Amino acid sequence: MMYSVVILAGNEQAHIGSCIESITPIADEVIVVDDYSHDDTPQIAYEMGATVMQRALDNDWAQQRNFALDKVSNDWTFMIDADERLDDTGVISLSDFSPAADIRAASIGRSNYYKSKPLRYGRFSRNLQIKALESSVRYQAERPVHETPDVEDEEITKLNGNIEHFTYVSLGELFAKMKRYGEIEAQSGQRLDSNLSLFRSVKVAGYRLLVQQAYRDGLRGLIAIGAEMYGDYIAQHEATS
């Protein structure tokens, strides 16, 4: 099966080319929704054959994806961000995918990288992400960040393959993203006051460290725990101020 591929981008000239290359085998349409980049992201995407549309993100990834879904021309869409890469197994799995009538979305594994190395334990370890979906599906408006398609669990299937997510290239970027996400979650109501406390943060940190074995990622694992606690603090501060 061939897909409309949607790529969300913003100042991603270092990544956009590799991202497009990785999904080319499954795409007969590539739409890049660009958050008015100040670098060469739109030009690179255009030169690689993508349709480039510019739209302000305004800290709402759900609406950005819904905007793109209104523009696609295929029955199924594959969602990917500019700092992600689809591996060869994923290409084969998606190409061979023939969904049953009651399936409206498909998940695939994603590995998060910090400083060019994968985080194998803790919150940022490999996890399933819904990436392929019927083009009629829309994302839930109440979740602007860490957005979720509006489908039921029984309508989702799992595909083989992996996406490499090069999202945290430096310590500063990691903490900046946690701060931004915490602020958005609090302001949008995604994070309820009752779920935010120092006790909760410490409890979660212990779970990440000992149960999920984040210590096995070494210093990078400890930094990831610290970044998560920082994001919780920001969310708590924003929600109660």
Question: Which residues make up the CATH 3.90.550.10 domain(s) of the chain?
Answer: 3-168
Calpha distance 209→216 (Å, rounded): 9
The residue behind tokens 């070494």 is 218
According to the model, what pLDDT value does residue 208 have?
96
What is the model's pLDDT at position 63?
Answer: 97
Fold of 3-168: Spore Coat Polysaccharide Biosynthesis Protein SpsA; Chain A (3.90.550)
Q: Report the alpha-carbon distance of residue 182 to residue 228 in Å, rounded.
A: 9
Q: Specify the length of the chain in residues.
A: 241
Reference 87, options 25, 149, 8; nearest CA is: 25
Q: Which residues of the chain have pLDDT under 70?
A: 190-197, 241
Tokens of 64: 């950005």
Beta strands in the chain (DSSP E): 3-9, 27-34, 51-54, 76-81, 84-86, 105-114, 117-118, 127-134, 156-168
What pLDDT score does 232 carry?
A: 86
Q: Are 21 and 88 in contact (CB under 8 A)?
A: no
Q: Using a cut of 0.85, tell me whether the model's pTM lies above it.
A: yes
Report the DSSP beta bridge partners of residue 133: 77, 105
Instruction: Find out whether 202 and 150 touch, Cβ atoms under 8 Å.
Output: no
